[in-house]
Amino acid sequence: MKLRRTLLIFFTLIIFSAFTPTEWKAEKHSGYVVRYTQQDELTRAAYISIFDQGKKEAQNFFSEAYRSDFEVKIHPNRQSMDTQWQTDWKMPDFKSECWMVASGVATKLDLLSPARWKEEVCEHSYEDKEKTQKLITHEMVHVFHGQWNKSPDFSEVEQLDWWVEGLATYASGQCDRQRRDEVKKALTENKLPSTLDKFWSGKNRYGLSGSVVMYIDQKYGRAKLIELLPLTKKKELLDVLKISEDQLLADWKKFVISLN
Ligand SMILES: [Zn+2]
């Protein structure tokens, strides 16, 4: 009898926990609300200082403020984040790759809890503070960009992965010396993608996309980058710069070669 009762309680608990929805807590900060679960109760203070820093860096880069408050959601595990992305992106079968840890749009930054990175993430280590900060700043730039874009969740943005990702990469400092050197090497070896549409792919995607935005910034200035923020099509962007894609690529190549 005793064993049966113990088993009954045990299975009831398992079933109960499987069907209990995740309990989210909310905390207001300057310009955003953090949503988190019990798992991050104690560690969230450390994350929040990274969020604050990322938000500050994005604003400093553009010398402009965020246009509205947003939400930062710290998912307790990859399953929670995948479920969120499946709903947000209307892709019910979506399963994230192991290197995917965060995303940002105008209203929200989703992040897989760093407490889970050791078990559920490849390529990123939370302990590498500098890279972790840049990663969060990158997402904060996406949030900023979304708030200035005609398509706040980027769903209508076409042929501009190189620009959206390149901007976040460059503004967050991820287009570092090492990545620029790798692009330079690929250029001298004639191993570059032939169009901008392919720049955000492969192992050099950060360096390729980031250095194009770095070039646009140096040639046209920061005010021009801000002017480009609302755009959703590659042609619109090239029209504002008054340049063809071929010419932009040719000028960018010279710029990359000149980089130290
Ligand atoms: Zn990104």
Beta-bridged to residue 158, according to DSSP, are 233
Beta-bridged to residue 102, according to DSSP, are 111
Strands of the 25-29 sheet, one edge to the other = 25-29, 32-36, 70-75, 108-112, 102-105
How many angstroms separate the alpha carbon of residue 259 from the centre of ligand 1? 24
Any domain includes 13: no
pLDDT by residue (tens digit) across 109-162? Answer: 999 999 999 999 999 999 999 999 999 999 999 999 999 999 999 999 999 999
- Both 140 and 25 in one domain: the answer is yes
- Both 24 and 121 in one domain: the answer is yes
Cβ-in-10-Å burial (0-12, 13-18, 19+) of 40 comes to buried
How many angstroms separate the alpha carbon of residue 142 from the centre of ligand 1? 7
pLDDT by residue (tens digit) across 173-199? Answer: 999 999 999 999 999 999 999 999 999
Q: Does residue 11 carry a pLDDT above 80?
A: no
- Ligand 1 (ion): residues with CB under 5 Å are 165, 168
Across the range 53-65, mean pLDDT stands at 98
Across the range 234-260, mean pLDDT stands at 96
Count of structural domains within the chain: 2
Band (4; pLDDT cuts 50, 70, 90): low
Strand bridging mode 102-105 / 70-75: unpaired
Which residue, 114, 148, 182, sits at the end of a domain?
A: 148
Band (19; pLDDT cuts 50, 70, 90): low
- Both 26 and 131 in one domain: the answer is yes
How many angstroms separate the alpha carbon of residue 211 from the centre of ligand 1? 15
Look up the CATH number of the domain holding residue 119. 3.30.2010.30
Q: Does residue 170 carry a pLDDT above 80?
A: yes
Give the range of the structural domain holding residue 44, as residue numbers without chain letter: 20-148
| Mean of pLDDT over the chain | 94
Strand bridging mode 108-112 / 25-29: unpaired
How many angstroms separate the alpha carbon of residue 182 from the centre of ligand 1? 19
- Both 33 and 107 in one domain: the answer is yes
**Residue (of 114, 202, 213) closest to 170 by Cα position:** 213
Which residue, 148, 173, 195, sits at the end of a domain?
A: 148
Any domain includes 2: no
